[in-house]
Structure 1
């Protein structure tokens, strides 16, 4: 018997482990799916632009099917937690900005002093917080006029 994996489990398998970065990517990818709904036409393609190079990118490849190989995942590293989603053939971009204050609260003053178990517990707490915090506290979502293009 074959048991189908949840999207979260698929992202973990693809990435190789759980971490706060894939939790952020997973949450943003799911929010984008919810906000954008179904493709406007059968020949449109979802493009994703990430303004940071992080583990979050793996979630977009699994959840949103925006892969680096097809150039549907565009990386412009400004070190900001900003992600833009665009269906080709439309003039609207969905821009999701993760709340920096949310991320800052988990920075440990000296992570080297934590034991492996403490680090693991801290990661699990961060993941749980990222996945469950209220949307308004997690990010801002805006729709802007424009389009993304493959580079």
Structure 2
């Protein structure tokens, strides 16, 4: 997270890092944090800042954090390596990896909806969540192993290092 803030220098990253630091400090110095929360309550009462405005500001910061392009995609280094090795098939390789990523995201999204529905209906949602979690771990391990095999994503054609795998 510190490296991301150092490289990208986005306001949302700085806010997220500071919130993480505040959370760690709050755990360590709980009494002092309670005094700080009391100060925030009096500040809120004095200037009449509503919860809705705080939620809107938080939502804007959250969306700003996720509006940046994703640099850590699954199998990004493998895609870079394959396009460097098979120079004539650049578009087909990119399309194949993007289709695999899209199918993976759709599967996880559908599984998440099924798990939430099962939890809302007081059914056994843990068994439904087990299979997508195993698949997520398997894909992540596959990406890590592919990065170990191909290295930084550079091939014989001189392709630069990829942005890393998720």
- Shorter-normalised TM-score: what interval? under 0.3
Which one has the bigger helix percentage? 2
| Structure number with larger C-alpha Rg | 2
Which one has the bigger strand percentage? 1
Q: TM-score, normalised by structure 1?
A: 0.27
Q: TM-score, normalised by structure 2?
A: 0.25
